[in-house]
Amino acid sequence: MDYDEILLDAEERMEKAVAVFREGLKGIRTGRATPGLVDSIRVEYYGSQTPLKQLANITVPEPQQIVIRPFDASVIGDIVKAIQSSDIGLAPNSDGRLIRLNVPPLSEERRQQLVARVKELAEEARVAIRNIRRDANKHADQAQKEKVLTEDDRDRLKGEIQDLTKKYEGMVNEAAEAKKKEIRED
């Protein structure tokens, strides 16, 4: 691998790590209802696990309520089962045409648990970014041994890899702080 390939590979992988972290944050509920709370739910539909958002229209008509309107009314029972077996902790109310999920306010204890979970996810993302940095540095050392890079190029590349690491760790930290603030405020 040459200089640009190593840098580009590291940056792409770090972007993916941040994207995975942000997706994980969507599933953590705050006191407010958001469609992201039910995005990760998969429903048994004609023998395969299908994402809920492909089977229904998900809206938030009020700050404390999510309404799920299936495209096919025959799947309501399966959606209710999937919600009950998920870890979001909300009880679905169905009237045969649509499903309502009432999002209760969070207790202080639950808020602390959710903040702790955000911290865990952030740390996992930072570790993933650091692992990508380690791999990229190994590639840089290997390229220098194979005479693809000079020592100066290798050192400059490692500096750029470190800058990328700081940039993406910063993105993780910002997203984590915003989510923690959102959890504490509601």
Q: Per-residue pLDDT tens for 61-98? A: 988 889 999 998 888 888 988 888 887 778 888 888 88
Which pTM value belongs to this model? 0.74
3-26+107-185 folds as Topoisomerase I; Chain A, domain 4 (1.10.132)
* Pick from 19, 4, 103: nearest CA to 58: 103
* Pick from 46, 47, 86, 45: nearest CA to 66: 86
Cross-strand partners of 51: 42
Domain ranges in the chain are 3-26+107-185, 35-102
Q: Per-residue pLDDT tens for 31-58? A: 777 888 887 788 888 888 888 888 899 9
Q: What angle do CA 81, 20, 167 make, to 5 degrees?
A: 155
Cross-strand partners of 59: 67
Domain 35-102 = CATH 1.10.1790.20: no
